[in-house]
């Protein structure tokens, strides 16, 4: 069929198993994606299986192919690149001609033809290159992907080809192949190209990681460690853009004819340097925080640590707005935006509010029976703490015991002369759903009497057997989630909080409950002894940096509005595609907080990466970035 129809109509990859030509990555995809055990076994369009090796199978193959050929692909997929004796390089240019599902991946596989062994093999799988989410789904969107691979000494490079295909994951229904393309040493030769070196105009040294691309096209590349680049192009006139952090962007028009390889060397002018400095302190008493990591997000500048006086200093290119990220044990993480002009010193002091993340101590919590404090351990609960290293957990070294009730009680907190009191903390659950779990209660008389609290959104279980039928949190989500309680009914009181866990028969070795990032936020107009700031309606629209950031999987987004008005708060990916709408409607003037759990509008978890959250009002729009790390 390959000889009769050619790779424009029929592309196949030969996965070998249980023979000298098998490779681990091929075996892994064959077993995990196709769940195939029979040999020979053929999968058409990634979905339809026909057992081969018999006289009439060709007719069955042809019937299936003709049915697929009758359907137009929604994707235009073009390959450019080169294959040499030492390495291969392929660029895949993707254009969506119709809207598709947003979960497609692009796959790259290296195959070899005319392999002579026990028999003559074609399109034998040699290497599986990195698979990547396609990242686009709307008609008219484009994307470009690059892969390089090293030629193995056992391969004949003249017979090497690259197969690229776009397919939904095996868990999707359907998970058909949207489009595929096939590139050989002949067909991958670029119709035209430019190449050269990008250098610093003053030092004349090569500049690595410089982005080089043809404006208005999908052709792009990056300079290597010596500043060298090679950019494939279609014949014609192009505007070539050279961009690098800390340098003026440079544009040059070039004209290339078919088969041209045009040398283009450029130099870039560096921005003038500036100094970004400041002090990191405790918010409540202005005490410096030494040895705290400080990072500039999304720029190639090495992080630093504060010194003994809590001071940090960066030498940076001027002309940018920087996002300063600061993390300290038992402090609310901060991300602060600051513009830095050229040739200036900018001072940005960063006070950090106390949050009990149990790093320096157990927080003076009192525990009985199961509850233990220490470093997170996957044998007894979450693999990692929500923040830092330490957590409170029901048995830190293994599954919780059956038929046990255990309490974790906080110290005493004063809500006297406080105008607003909110509790947030992170929990991780692995319990027998409906049978085992926990809830939270409050006491205003030093633990003599307890009243069960109800969290924002309610508990996820209305009746837990291990808690005598009380409502609580139960289940085995095995992921960190933020829980929120409004404590304003207890303003003016002195309180304690109790986490009560109850179990029945743990016959499946469930690991229990982890608690971390205990944040009791008390705000209001108070006397001199407390020195807390009043909560005020802002004069302008305010969108704060999400906390925590980066996050997994929950983060809080706070914003303030100066007057009653329409508000839309939504999440987008970096391509501007809507991921989730958190609020869309009328709000009164005031301060608000919304949680995002890293899912799209269909409740499906999105992948790691940078996302935008946008606050839109009647008159203004504010956008910030956040990073999800799974």
What span, in angstroms and rounded, lies between the C-alpha atoms of 323 and 339? Answer: 9
In the numeric block, the tokens 């992921």 are attached to: 479
Q: Is the pLDDT of residue 371 over 90?
A: yes
What span, in angstroms and rounded, lies between the C-alpha atoms of 350 and 335? Answer: 9
What span, in angstroms and rounded, lies between the C-alpha atoms of 60 and 288? Answer: 75
What is the CA angle 100-571-354, rounded to 5?
145
pLDDT band at 9 (very low <50, low <70, confident <90, very high): low
For domain 542-628, the CATH architecture is Sandwich (2.60)
**In a 3-state reduction of DSSP, which class is residue 249?**
coil
Cβ-Cβ contacts under 8 Å for 105 (sequence gap 6 or more): 131, 132, 133, 134, 166, 167, 168, 169
Q: Is the pLDDT of residue 489 over 80?
A: yes
Fold of 195-268: Immunoglobulin-like (2.60.40)
What span, in angstroms and rounded, lies between the C-alpha atoms of 264 and 281? Answer: 50
Q: Is the pLDDT of residue 51 over 80?
A: no
Q: Is the pLDDT of residue 43 over 70?
A: no
Note the pTM of the prediction, 2 decimals: 0.56
Cβ-Cβ contacts under 8 Å for 237 (sequence gap 6 or more): 253, 254, 255
Give the per-residue pLDDT at 430. 96
What span, in angstroms and rounded, lies between the C-alpha atoms of 585 and 95? Answer: 35
- Residue 32 DSSP symbol: H
The residues spanned by each domain of the chain are: 2-184, 195-268, 286-352, 366-523, 542-628
- Which of the residue ranges 35-39, 71-75, 86-90, 565-569 would you say has the lowest mean pLDDT? 35-39
Give the per-residue pLDDT at 367. 94
* Over residues 617-626, mean pLDDT: 89
What span, in angstroms and rounded, lies between the C-alpha atoms of 51 and 43? Answer: 9
Q: Is the pLDDT of residue 22 over 80?
A: no
Q: Which residue has the higher pLDDT, 36 or 219?
A: 219
* Over residues 156-162, mean pLDDT: 89
Chain Cα centroid distance, residue 58: 45
Give the per-residue pLDDT at 525. 33
Q: Which residue has the higher pLDDT, 173 or 162?
A: 162
CATH code assigned to 2-184: 2.60.40.10
CA distances from 266 to 231, 236, 272 (A): 14, 20, 19
- Beta strands at 273-282 and 293-296: parallel, antiparallel or unpaired: unpaired
* Over residues 39-50, mean pLDDT: 60
- Residue 490 DSSP symbol: G
What are the tens digits of pLDDT across the range 506-562?
Answer: 767 899 999 999 999 887 533 222 222 334 456 788 899 988 888 887 888 888 888
What span, in angstroms and rounded, lies between the C-alpha atoms of 93 and 108? Answer: 13
Query: In CATH, what class is 286-352?
Result: mainly beta
* Over residues 381-396, mean pLDDT: 93
CATH code assigned to 366-523: 2.60.120.200
Cβ-Cβ contacts under 8 Å for 103 (sequence gap 6 or more): 133, 168, 169, 172, 604
pLDDT band at 189 (very low <50, low <70, confident <90, very high): low
Cβ-Cβ contacts under 8 Å for 382 (sequence gap 6 or more): 376, 391, 393, 428, 478, 480, 514
Q: What is the dihedral of CA 325, 327, 333, 337, to 10 degrees?
A: -20
């Amino acid at each position: 069929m390959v000889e009769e129809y050619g790779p424009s109509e029929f592309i196949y990859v030969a996965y070998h198993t249980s023979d000298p030509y098998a490779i681990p990555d091929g075996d892994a995809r064959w077993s995990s994606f196709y769940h195939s055990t029979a040999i020979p076994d053929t999968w058409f369009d990634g979905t339809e299986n026909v057992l081969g090796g018999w006289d009439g199978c060709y007719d069955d193959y042809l019937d299936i192919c003709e049915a697929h050929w009758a359907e137009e692909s929604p994707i235009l997929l073009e390959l450019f690149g080169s294959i040499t004796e030492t390495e291969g390089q392929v660029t895949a240019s993707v254009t969506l001609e119709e809207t598709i599902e947003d979960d497609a991946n692009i796959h790259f596989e290296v195959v070899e033809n005319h392999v002579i062994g026990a028999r003559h093999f074609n399109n034998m799988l040699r290497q599986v290159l990195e698979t990547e989410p396609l990242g686009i789904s709307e008609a008219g969107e484009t994307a470009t992907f690059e892969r390089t691979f090293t030629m193995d000494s056992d391969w004949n490079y003249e017979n090497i080809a690259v197969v690229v295909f776009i397919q939904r994951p095996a868990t999707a229904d359907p998970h058909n192949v949207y489009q595929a393309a096939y590139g050989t040493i002949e067909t991958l030769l670029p119709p035209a190209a430019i190449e050269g070196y990008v250098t610093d105009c003053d030092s004349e040294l090569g500049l690595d990681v410089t982005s080089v691309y043809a404006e208005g096209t999908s052709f792009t590349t990056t300079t290597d460690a010596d500043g060298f680049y090679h950019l494939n192009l279609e014949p014609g006139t192009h505007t070539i853009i050279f961009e690098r952090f800390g340098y003026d962007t440079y544009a040059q028009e070039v004209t290339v004819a078919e088969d041209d390889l045009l040398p283009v060397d450029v130099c870039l002018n560096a921005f003038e340097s500036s100094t970004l400095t400041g002090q990191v302190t405790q918010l409540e008493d202005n005490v410096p925080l030494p040895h705290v990591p400080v990072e500039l997000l999304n720029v190639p500048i090495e992080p630093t640590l504060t010194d003994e006086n809590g001071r940090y200093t960066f030498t940076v290119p001027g002309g940018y707005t920087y996002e300063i990220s600061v993390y300290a044990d038992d402090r609310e993480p901060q991300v602060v935006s600051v513009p830095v002009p050229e040739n200036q010193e900018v001072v940005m002091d960063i006070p950090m509010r106390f949050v009990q993340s149990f790093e320096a101590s157990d927080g003076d919590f009192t525990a009985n029976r199961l509850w233990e404090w220490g470093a997170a351990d996957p044998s007894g609960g979450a693999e990692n703490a929500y923040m830092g290293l330490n957590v409170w957990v029901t048995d830190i070294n293994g599954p919780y015991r059956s038929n046990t009730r255990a309490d974790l009680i906080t110290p005493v907190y004063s809500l006297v002369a406080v105008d607003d009191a909110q509790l947030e903390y992170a929990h991780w659950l692995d319990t027998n759903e409906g049978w085992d779990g926990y809830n939270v209660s409050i006491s205003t008389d030093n633990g003599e009497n307890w009243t069960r609290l109800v969290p924002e959104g309610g508990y996820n279980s209305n009746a837990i057997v291990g808690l005598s039928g009380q409502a609580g949190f139960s289940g085995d989500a095995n992921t960190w989630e933020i829980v929120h309680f409004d404590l304003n009914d207890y303003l003016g009181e002195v309180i304690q909080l109790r986490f009560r866990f109850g179990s029945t028969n743990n016959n499946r070795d469930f690991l229990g409950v982890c608690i971390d990032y205990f944040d009791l936020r008390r705000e209001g107009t108070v006397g001199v002894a407390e020195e807390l700031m009043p909560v005020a309606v802002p004069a302008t629209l305010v969108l704060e940096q999400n906390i925590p950031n980066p996050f997994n999987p929950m983060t809080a987004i706070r914003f303030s509005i100066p007057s009653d008005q329409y508000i839309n708060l939504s999440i987008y990916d970096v391509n501007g595609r809507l991921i989730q709408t958190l609020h869309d409607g009328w709000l009164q003037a005031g301060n608000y907080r919304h949680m995002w759990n890293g899912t799209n509008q269909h409740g499906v978890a999105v992948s790691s990466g940078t996302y935008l959250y946008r606050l839109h009002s009647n008159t203004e729009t504010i956008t910030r970035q956040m990073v999800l790390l799974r």
